Amino acid sequence: MKKYLGIEFGSTRIKAILISDGSEVIASGAHDWENRLENGIWTYTLDDIREGLQDAYKNVADDFKAKTGETLDSLDALGISAMMHGYMPFDKAGNILSPFRTWRNTVTAEASEKLSPIFNFNIPQRWSIAHLYQSILNGEEHVAKIDKVLTLAAYVQKILTGTAAVGVGEASGMFPIDSDTCGYDEKMLKQFDELVAEKGYPWKLRDVLPAVLKAGDNAGTLTEEGAKFLDPTGTLKPGAPVCPPEGDAGTGMVATNSVRVKTGNVSAGTSIFGMIVLKKPLSKLYPEIDMVTTPSGAPVAMVHCNNCSTDLDAWMKIFMEFAELSGHPMKKPALYDLLLLNAMNGDPDCGGLVSCNYFSGEPITHLDEGRPMLLRRPDANFNLANLVRNNLFSALATLKIGLDILLAENVEIDKILGHGGYFKTKGVGQKLLAAAMRTPVSVMETAGEGGAWGMALLAKYSVTSGGMSLEDWLDEKVFKDMASVTEAPSESDIKGFEDYMASYRLMLEAERTAVEKF
């Protein structure tokens, strides 16, 4: 049996998926983790990363043993994915020089505002280059000692293979990419080096960034040290090919077969982002729109929002606590299905309720911090269905602000696919996203597997492509007979979402005051 492993480090969960030659899931494992706020920085420690990776791998190996009776001692290929962006600087000895700064941090506004006009290219706060330049602006001593700047996916890749390399989609969240060469933009590399030349650092930007590879390229093999890092029991044999590591945006595109021009996908979990593969460039720079790429290097317009389901999950925990207190505890999936399906009985506009779901800052709406809050008018129709529906709408609201820019640009979209935890309850998240985008949304039967499955597909593609493009390989070898469900938006839901958005935009003034005063 062929075995291809994909592991993805999400914000709250590390998931491992093992697929067979037919691309079906044969085993899975996971490890829950949480970032922490230390000295004003959202971070995970290196121990968090190592322990989480090893636990997720142990769980997938145990699941494989339970289902097949066999020991997972070899792999035909594997790949690592992680939440994109962030900043992990290392010295020549491999020591990390500052705590890992994740995508969630909004502490690089000055760097972002200075770099974007210099490059004439939107540099979001969470990008690696923004973190590096902000460290320079702050006068941080560690910058002079840098040998490599890595993302989380690149860090794990280097441990497993000894190679500092990333897939082009992941690289596009570190520094702007030239889609013609599928490498870092040469002009912008030179502009950055000139910008910091007076500092006299002993490195050039190209030297400290990881190498860029396309989907299908070999990014090294699993070394003996890497195998032991992944599986401390020593059972896993080294030597498996390792594909280029990708970000969660790239694996989301693969998992939804959204890598071809004029396709799009929305990934909704702790954060939420929508991605459209462009037929032609946008007419101008938009601070709200990131320009990234597919794992093949095609240009993609991306709307990324830091906050999505965290506030919804917090409310669900309250209801779970109540259920336990009542003596009638419920399993988490059953509770979500019960309350989310009931939300579809709420008023189209949530009956006068509106909430801000910001646990962290949100650059699209120009907020450096978040304060989750619920507002309602005195005459609001305050009931359970509207409360939950409001939280579902709030999870999409900031994405809607960014997507409206693309719709105004007349970006061509043939199909939209959704994936991630927001879509797990059938007939709910999908319908509401369709209302927000004013277009039908499809969800495939594999949507719940998400990025880890997409990463496993990229691992498989790297050794079985036979020269086919990623777009054709996915169409012919993976999704040809894949079942999916498509939901078209209703007129009442479209109008209800637009009415809700009018209140949401007004509510943001209260959110700004809350951030300032509370």
Q: Which CATH superfamily is domain 255-307+402-487 in?
A: ATPase, nucleotide binding domain (3.30.420.40)
At 39-50, the pLDDT tens digits run: 999 999 999 999
Q: Which of 5, 144, 159, 151 is nearest to 73 (CA)?
A: 5
Two tokens, residue 455: 């990463």
What pLDDT was estimated at residue 240?
98
Query: Under CATH, which number does the domain 4-247 receive?
Result: 3.30.420.40
HSE-CB for 419 with a 13 A CA cutoff: 27
What pLDDT was estimated at residue 394?
98
- C-alpha to C-alpha distance for 473 and 479, rounded to whole angstroms: 9
Say yes or no to pLDDT of 448 above 60.
Answer: no
Instruction: Write the CA distances from 11 to 25, 261, 271, 307, integer angstroms.
Output: 22, 28, 8, 11
Give the number of other Cβ atoms within 10 Å of residue 409's Cβ: 18
pLDDT band at 110 (very low <50, low <70, confident <90, very high): very high
Say yes or no to pLDDT of 447 above 60.
Answer: no
**What integer is the mean pLDDT of 277-297?**
89
Instruction: Answer yes or no: are the C-beta atoms of 148 and 211 closer than 8 Å.
Output: no
- Residue of 67 and 1 predicted with greater confidence: 67
Place of tokens 């420690």: 45
244-258, 346-360, 403-417 — which one is most confidently predicted on average?
346-360
At 306-352, the pLDDT tens digits run: 999 999 999 999 999 999 999 999 999 999 999 999 999 999 999 99
Choose the weakest-confidence range: 50-54, 100-104, 371-375.
100-104
Say yes or no to pLDDT of 450 above 80.
Answer: no
Q: Dihedral through CA 138, CA 144, CA 146, CA 152, nearest 10?
A: 0
At 366-410, the pLDDT tens digits run: 998 999 999 999 999 999 999 999 999 999 999 999 988 888 888
What pLDDT was estimated at residue 236?
98
Does this chain's domain 4-247 share its CATH topology with 255-307+402-487?
Answer: yes
What pLDDT was estimated at residue 509?
97
**What integer is the mean pLDDT of 294-301?**
94
pLDDT band at 446 (very low <50, low <70, confident <90, very high): low
Two tokens, residue 308: 């999505």
pLDDT band at 270 (very low <50, low <70, confident <90, very high): confident
Which residue ranges make up each domain of the chain? Answer: 4-247, 255-307+402-487, 310-394+491-517
At 162-207, the pLDDT tens digits run: 999 999 999 999 999 998 899 999 999 999 999 999 999 999 999 9
Say yes or no to pLDDT of 449 above 70.
Answer: no
At 130-141, the pLDDT tens digits run: 999 999 999 999
At 145-159, the pLDDT tens digits run: 999 999 999 999 999
Task: Tell me which H or E stretch contains 244.
Answer: none
**What integer is the mean pLDDT of 253-261?**
91
Q: What 3-state DSSP class applies to 261?
A: coil
- C-alpha to C-alpha distance for 404 and 286, rounded to whole angstroms: 12
**What integer is the mean pLDDT of 436-459?**
85
Say yes or no to pLDDT of 267 above 90.
Answer: no
What pLDDT was estimated at residue 283?
82
Q: Dihedral through CA 86, CA 288, CA 448, CA 52, nearest 10?
A: 10
Please tell me the total number of residues recorded for the chain in this structure. Answer: 518
